[in-house]
Amino acid sequence: MLRISHLVKRYGNNPPVLKDLELEVPGESVTSIIGASGAGKSTLLRCINRLVEPTSGSIELNGVEITTLKREELRRTRRRIGMIFQGFNLVDRLSVMENVQCGRLGYIPYWRAALRRYPQEDIDRAFHLMERVGIAQYANKRADELSGGERQRVGVVRALMQDPEILLADEPTASLDPVTSRQIMELLQKLAAELHLPVLINIHNVGEAREFTERIVGMRFGKLIFDGKPEDLDEAAMDAVYSGTSEHDASRRSSPHDHEAVTS
Amino acid sequence: MNDSVTERVWTRYSSSQRWWRFASLMIVAVAVAWSLSTINIVWPWVWDAPNQIGDLFSRMVPPDVSQLGTILWVLIETLNIATIATFFAVFLSLPVAYISAQNTTPNRATLWLGRFILVSSRSVNTLIWALLFVAIFGPGVLAGIVAIMFRSLGFLGKLMGEAIEEIDRRPVEALEATGASRAKVILYAIVPQVVPTFFAVSILRWDINLRESTVLGLVGAGGIGMILQGAIDTLDWRTVATILLAILVLVIAGEALAAWLRKKVI
Amino acid sequence: MSAAVDAPRRWRKTPFIANPWLRWTLLIGALVYAIWAFTTLPFDWQRVAQGVERASRIFSGAFPPSFARHELLIDGFLESLKIAILATLLGVGLSVPIAFMAARNIAIKPIYALGRAIIIIARSFHPVIVAILFVKAVGFGPVAGILTLTIYSIGFVAKMLAERIEEIDWGQVEALRSSGASYIAVLQFAVLPQIMPRQIGLAMYQLDSNLRASAVVGIVGAGGIGATLMNAFGRYDYDFALAITLVIIGAILISEAVSGRIRRTIW
């Protein structure tokens, strides 16, 4: 359970990027965050694991107040927060297995990390997860030899190796083609159910948000202005979130109504 | 329609560009003229120079190979000096590179310290370092090794520091998000990205150091330079020729090896 | 289809050198070399122990740096500067034809071999060695320095220029050739414009390099501030030596900054 209250993020003396934001994410759920560029979606996500330092406010994950943690405690808490990124953020020159084991770096001693002598249970777990997402055959391949969709799967496995309490996804499909994009969204949706995880996804493709997530939260200029089920996201709500931005037109074009004839 | 009787002119350079080109040319011309006129040269000697050079070369042929055994032994010693010094310098340069890179340095003080170390190391020529260390440690290979180490530190540290600054930050961000400690983040996100540069730069510096170590002996810091100096002082030009040939072989072989190694680690 | 595995799957990182025989041979070979190299090098440890004491003596003698004989310093520095300027001019000038000779796409085989040989020989000898030889041939003073640094410049500039020539866009040459231009015209309009920016950059870089090197060749008598430094060291004038070294460092830093700035604007 993630509870965010009165979250404010301001850079220097500029107007705040996040303004007094409130959000509650219950246990097992898939929530998507939509909004135009600059609305603060990425900042919000990064405040949760403090890759970006909140200016003020409270973020509570399963009873632990994140904003006040000191370095060691912060690291321990970050272990429980998995994150996947738009750019996959893998270490290109390392193998898939090593990339995946990065998820355990917070748990294993330094010498194991340095010598690549991972605990057997971590190796078993890695293979199990890689098979689940379909990349086990690439275990020894260099990460940069994989396609975009495969790389994102590596990112997903890395995050899951942390045994997290919550999964954050920052525009995980923005760099992928439409087919692969859907595959990844589907994967996230299924994993959330299988592993009983709360998942928070930044997404700009509203069609996918509607199709794969059960709750949509709309951000506009640092505030949440929509919070509801996909069915409730009508034109008026879309306008409120996107109006005046070019994102609006792009989102409308990819709405599921266009796909009905094809997928039914 | 709008063509009047005025000519359409095309010039290669705009007038401001021409001004700059003229100015630069003038600066170069003035610098050269000043150098030529004020330099302390005895011009008759300059015209005689080709003769003198030819004369010197004629005294070197044919090369005298009677001392080849000693020469080869010392050549290997020279190789060892270069190799050992480069090896240690490479490892010493890593922490210096780490603190000189803007994205990894702990604070501004360490950044300036790192830069200061690199700049001092680079600005003082190997031979001058050698002079200093011969004065401290006495003549011998130790002075030579330390001198090469000191000079290499700046070269390696600068290039490695630049490599560290140019890494992709995204994996660093991702690994920090997993709760890994700073040391592990460096190990997994930074090190793999700079490894190619690390090897390329180390091999390059070894190649350069091979050349540098051939002259250390001229100031007493060990290596083949010492017997070269000896042969020159005794005007034994034919042995000098042999030594020069030996150096040529060493350097060319070293460069070939370095080029091959660099291809292997790309 | 069950993905359960009964025996635990092992995983080890594939080592840098896959073949274990090769790997261990190289490792052991490197170890043996290291031990041998260390033991055969003559270290006089007693002398080293005295080193610390001598070091402190030198450093205390060197501080504060003495600029008392600053005319000598300035003279030496200016001579180094002149040597660098003239050597760069001569060296870069000669590098152009040599670079063309050493470019595989321009020169015929025997000329190519000759060009490459010149460059290799020019590069293989440390400028100090070349300086000693020239000093013996033409005497002490800046002439030896200029000749030495000219060869030093050729070794670097001609090599870089030759590589640049080999990388030019051949299409431009073909276009000009097919229009019936003469050989010289083709060189002037198709090749030269492509290499000119690199050439100017190289010239600036080499001027900087030569300034550094001229401080060093002076040590063996080829003129410039190196000679001044050598004298100071020889007379145990450590404070003057430090002053000279500081000037050298300062000059190098300034020259590096200036040449870097200029190169950036013309790139």
The mean pLDDT value of chain C amounts to 84
Phi-psi region of C211 (alpha: psi -120 to 50; beta: other; left: phi over 0): alpha
Closest to B223 in 3D by CA, of B212, B231, B214, B210: B214
* B130 and B156 Cβ atoms separated by less than 8 Å: no
Residue C1 Cα, gap to closest chain B Cα (Å)? 33
Structure tokens, B254: 């070293």
Cβ contact, residue pair C8, A124, below 8 Å: yes
DSSP state of A81: E
Q: How far apart are CA A56 and CA A59, in angstroms?
A: 10
Closest to B75 in 3D by CA, of B212, B254, B250: B250
On the 0-12 / 13-18 / 19+ scale of CB atoms within 10 A, B66 is: exposed
Q: How far apart are CA B29 and CA B10, in angstroms?
A: 28
In the numeric block, the tokens 């097992």 are attached to A28
Residue predicted with more confidence, C144 or C11: C144
**Angle formed by the axes of helices B141-165 and B68-100, nearest 10°:** 40
Q: How far apart are CA C138 and CA C75, in angstroms?
A: 22
Edge-to-edge order in the sheet of strand A18-25: A18-25, A2-9, A56-61, A64-65
Where is A184: in which H helix or E strand?
helix A178-195
* Tens digit of each residue's pLDDT (9 = 90 or more) over B4-17: 566 788 877 788 88
Structure tokens, A187: 């994967």
Q: What is the pLDDT of residue C239?
A: 85
Pairing of strands A198-202, A166-170: parallel
Closest to A110 in 3D by CA, of B105, B168, B98, B188: B188
In our burial notation (b when 16+ CB lie closer than 10 A, e otherwise), range C195-227 reads beebbbbbbbbbbbbbbbbbbbbbbbbbbbbbb
Q: Does C12 touch chain A (CB under 8 A)?
A: yes
In our burial notation (b when 16+ CB lie closer than 10 A, e otherwise), range C53-67 reads eeeeebeeebeebbe
* Tens digit of each residue's pLDDT (9 = 90 or more) over B172-205: 999 999 999 999 999 999 999 999 899 999 999 9
* Tens digit of each residue's pLDDT (9 = 90 or more) over C69-106: 888 888 888 899 999 999 999 999 999 999 999 988 88
* Tens digit of each residue's pLDDT (9 = 90 or more) over B123-148: 888 988 898 888 888 888 889 999 99
Q: Does B68 touch chain C (CB under 8 A)?
A: no
The mean pLDDT value of chain B amounts to 89
Residue B76 Cα, gap to closest chain C Cα (Å)? 9
Q: What is the pLDDT of residue A259?
A: 44
Is the predicted pLDDT of residue C200 greater than 70, yes or no?
yes
Q: What is the pLDDT of residue B242?
A: 92
Q: What is the pLDDT of residue B66?
A: 87
In the numeric block, the tokens 């992928």 are attached to A176
Is the predicted pLDDT of residue A4 greater than 70, yes or no?
yes
Cβ contact, residue pair A123, C12, below 8 Å: no
Q: How far apart are CA B92 and CA B95, in angstroms?
A: 6
Residue A193 Cα, gap to closest chain C Cα (Å)? 20
- pTM given for the model: 0.81
Is the predicted pLDDT of residue C3 greater than 60, yes or no?
no
Q: Is B206 helix (H, G, I), strand (E, B) or coil?
A: helix
Q: Which residue of B has its CA nearest to A155?
A: B174
* Helices then strands, each counted (H, E), chain B: 11, 0
Residue predicted with more confidence, B170 or B47: B170
Is the predicted pLDDT of residue C2 greater than 60, yes or no?
no
Q: Does C82 touch chain B (CB under 8 A)?
A: yes
Where is B239: in which H helix or E strand?
helix B237-265
Closest to C138 in 3D by CA, of B44, B231, B45: B45
Closest to B138 in 3D by CA, of B222, B77, B262: B222
Closest to B199 in 3D by CA, of B101, B266, B149: B266
By Cβ distance, the residue of C5, C8, C11 closest to A97 is: C11
Number of A to B CB contacts under 8 A, please give it. 82
SS3 sequence of chain C: CCCCCCCCCCCCCCCCCCCHHHHHHHHHHHHHHHHHHHHHCCCCHHHHHHHHHHHHHHHHHHCCCCCCCHHHHHHHHHHHHHHHHHHHHHHHHHHHHHHHHCCCCCCCHHHHHHHHHHHHHHHHCCHHHHHHHHHHHHCCCHHHHHHHHHHHHHHHHHHHHHHHHHCCCHHHHHHHHHCCCCHHHHHHHHHHHHHHHHHHHHHHHHHHHHHHHHHHHHHHCCCCHHHHHHHHHHCCCHHHHHHHHHHHHHHHHHHHHHHHHHHHHHC
Is the predicted pLDDT of residue C130 greater than 90, yes or no?
yes
Average pLDDT of the residues in A113-125: 93
Q: Is B114 helix (H, G, I), strand (E, B) or coil?
A: helix
Closest to A222 in 3D by CA, of A14, A2, A1, A3: A14
Q: Is A97 helix (H, G, I), strand (E, B) or coil?
A: helix
Q: What is the pLDDT of residue A262?
A: 43
Closest to A49 in 3D by CA, of B185, B180, B183: B180
Q: Does A51 touch chain B (CB under 8 A)?
A: yes
Residue predicted with more confidence, C2 or B115: B115
Residue C8 Cα, gap to closest chain A Cα (Å)? 7
Pairing of strands A2-9, A56-61: antiparallel
Q: How far apart are CA A226 and CA A169, in angstroms?
A: 19
Q: What is the pLDDT of residue C16?
A: 72
Q: How far apart are CA C145 and CA C218, in angstroms?
A: 7
By Cβ distance, the residue of C89, C123, C223 closest to B32 is: C89
Pairing of strands A2-9, A18-25: antiparallel
Q: Does A254 touch chain B (CB under 8 A)?
A: no
Where is A169: in which H helix or E strand?
strand A166-170
Closest to B86 in 3D by CA, of B187, B164, B155: B155
Cβ contact, residue pair C9, A124, below 8 Å: yes
By Cβ distance, the residue of A78, A85, A93 closest to B179 is: A78
Is the predicted pLDDT of residue C266 greater than 90, yes or no?
no
- Supply φ then ψ for residue C95, to 5 degrees: -65, -30
Q: How far apart are CA B69 and CA A143, in angstroms?
A: 52
By Cβ distance, the residue of B179, B183, B192 closest to A76 is: B179
Note the ipTM here.
Answer: 0.86
Q: Does C120 touch chain B (CB under 8 A)?
A: yes
Q: What is the pLDDT of residue B144?
A: 93
Q: How far apart are CA C5 and CA C35, in angstroms?
A: 47
Phi-psi region of A40 (alpha: psi -120 to 50; beta: other; left: phi over 0): left
Is the predicted pLDDT of residue A224 greater than 60, yes or no?
yes
- In one letter, which amino acid is B14? S
Closest to B131 in 3D by CA, of A98, A178, C13, C215: C215
B2 contact partners, CB below 8 Å, separation of at least 6: none
Is the predicted pLDDT of residue B90 greater than 90, yes or no?
yes
Q: How far apart are CA A136 and CA B174, in angstroms?
A: 21
B228 contact partners, CB below 8 Å, separation of at least 6: B214, B217, B218, B240, B243, B244, B247, C129
